[in-house]
Structure 1
């Protein structure tokens, strides 16, 4: 009876349940009005999903799982890409996919809060690269070694950006707004002697040592010997090993400005400027009319210091200046307070002027007479060339100032030292030449040589003007010896007169038996005639013949040898008294000239 009753109840429930399904196609548990295909309603209990111990996300575990099948995993597997931990998972046909729990253990598309940086992160927990994609194409990769690649799956540096073929010019574009430096900052914390910090760009066919450009700074102990790393500690460098290096301002009205810093504002102190017209100013803004303008106002320093250390003959020059204008001047030099710039209208190679000092000053060293290696040198040289070609040696005029030489008078006799203040030569074939301020040793016999004011192969002469203001030449008498002369007038007194020589003149004359005083008397009245006696360095006596007692006037003329010049110790400085037709100095040879290529003018 009981079994029949239970069977009756079950049958009744089943018929009713099937009736509901058949009629409504919905199942309700705890409700007679289900709102879905399966509606469970309860205020005290929940839905208990099957609990399964999964071993990995890529292992089915459940027998024949169906897509969208839901389980609650109770197992924590080992770390790895397929790790599982307790929580809800659904089957997507290939893998078990975790479902975010109530405390949002997964990252939300709308952001997360309450995260802890040491435990909450986006990334991997194993040695597998972290990759981000767009349009299912890799865009950024963080390798397990810590390198970041943008546009490359194998970054070779901490940040490796590969733009590939692009329509924009910039690989990296950074913007910001701050009333101070906005910069990329690179610091190398190594203290090694090769350590540097900076930025490098490499050509498409270059390498880290060729075809590159570098800008940066070295460290405090820098001592790297490689050729392109030049400098001492904490030097800033801009180095390239490609071909041409370009520094350009594309604005055709603006300049490239080089500055040094200082501690107060403005922090940049302009030192050099390259203007858009190509002119350069150093400590000056420059001007279009001056391709290079250098301004310096400090005392004792140089505006320009040009040095050439090439010691090969005829090679480099410290300064090369050329002006191709027919009446131009290559170098105009002026000095002093508000100095004038003086130059000839026909042009010049160098034009110098000074308010109080020298317009042009030249100096040469090692001019000691014993220094044979510097024979032919002078502080200044001047040449009037016949044909404007150094390939030929002909000249119309030639001069040297403050020089020395050593030459044989005829190419056979012993060469003698020649020290001169000036040497001047004129003429084309048979030149006239003369020395001024000359010291010359005629014999080299131990004396100091002879001093000459002017000596040469021409004649001593002067110019006077005639009644028509025409210049007329007067010539000086010349002698084979070095002589002094004097003239005077006197008068016999009772047939006798003593003439006292000028003391200054007498002290410079050599009067002895070998060098007698020559006296010439011209009577200016009638008497028996006169003779000269008692000649000495004091004077001479004139007496009338036949013991006459006349009182007539006369004029006298004396000629005597010039005495040698000696110093305070009696050493001869210059020979005079024994010279008679000595062998003199010959012409100086012109310097061998070099002509630089005119291509330097371009």
Structure 2
């Protein structure tokens, strides 16, 4: 197969050297021969050959400063005739093996190799290309010797354009790469099948796949049976590049589809879980085998999801709401809600206050501006009185022992309440089905205010209160502008109207029946009266005899009691009634708040407060208390309705963050990208 070119011929016997007048030398076993006119040295023989110097590769490489074109015969490794194509300082020994080096032609051997008009054919006698391989299986093998890698250069007019090379063939982890030069590794593949691509361009897409096939154009199958972290079909990682708009966001994968097609469709092996991206109606859609399905970037909102069985559904980012959740009107059970939020479930996750960024919970709603008729959270219930015990918002403990509702339709006469609150009835016993043998501590409403604890204004009735021990307990002074009326029910069940005795003084009184004995009597006040009657103010005692007498008079009165005697030293023993009135201790010189007792106090209340439920009513001016007086208006130094604590409002997120990060990057290690100086291709 190999046609070796012999530059020199040596005779084994008698050599004849004939000098030529032109300076030529001929070596021949024929004494009458003459040198070729074009040669300097002409060796001729018809029975002998020329014997090159023979040595090992190590001996060859030990030659000091071998000149260019030195020729030896190497007897080990890949034996053959070698010529130094390099320089004396940098030798490059190349084997003389083919027509490139010896100027000959490929020699056919049987029907295996042909040369025709500059084309070489292997397995064909009529090659149509420079190298034409035909046959079965038609494989070309490029085999490099020890410590070298195999490769192919593709060029044009002497310039290298592309290269296909193996790398690290002698290592335990070799690979093959394709690049624009000997060290540029644009594409690479391991023997295990792992492929990588390093694209450094900026003006065009890294991958272009154009297929007219009516079937799958691109398919990726991950057959891993074990999972170390996460197995992927496709993973894309991008650097964190700052962007200014959605149009400049870098994308790992971009799919563009003309018409009504789907940009990306994914299906699991059993074909029961599937998803779509960039469809005619949605950005992303997915469906689970249970029938649960959802979409992102829909016609009606940013996100849509529906439960496959109940068909409860919800939206995110609608034109009329940020979040919408809805139950199927025909298929729902207790415990179903259009929107659910779960907060903390551990006592160790405590909040630190009542400010929005100090609390934690299941649902958070806020307004970040002061627009009228806006609410952080709103709940509504249909009007009408068909079904009761319903409302707009419900708040309760987990067992609903203590609950309250806003916008509530109570069961009593189908009456609407702005707010209804209950501490849950304790069953058993009497007196309103309440049994106080066990301790109770629940309160339906607790209210604490800076100016007012509560303001209640009813169109017909203001406040109705009832209680077992008391209905109303007021700690402090009580003021009223109307009558203090008492309704006393008599034996017939009728209410008798009674009025509280009033006085311009803070007085206390007691009364009783006494009896003269020989014209005299001593009365001790009851202990309650004696303890709270003022000792610095006179006590007024009025005595009325019950029966005929000379009349009576007081001999002595103090905080403990009084003594009475009959006039004219009478000795009768008639009964008498008495009433004692005195000032309450500590209230002898009472000073009441001037703003409360002022005639314009109630007018200020009317002007300062208004019914927000009536849009036709003039808005109240506001009230504040300062320096012992109630004022109309807004308190100086207090935040105006357009000021206050800043509430954070998150801007729409426009950046896609890297979701997965594996231990290995897509690019090969850097040491594989640069060749060492002693590496030969």
Bin for the TM-score computed over the shorter chain: 0.3 to 0.5
Greater fraction strand: 1
Query: Normalized against structure 1, the TM-score is what?
Result: 0.48
Bigger RCO (CA 8 Å, 6+ sep): 2
Query: Normalized against structure 2, the TM-score is what?
Result: 0.43
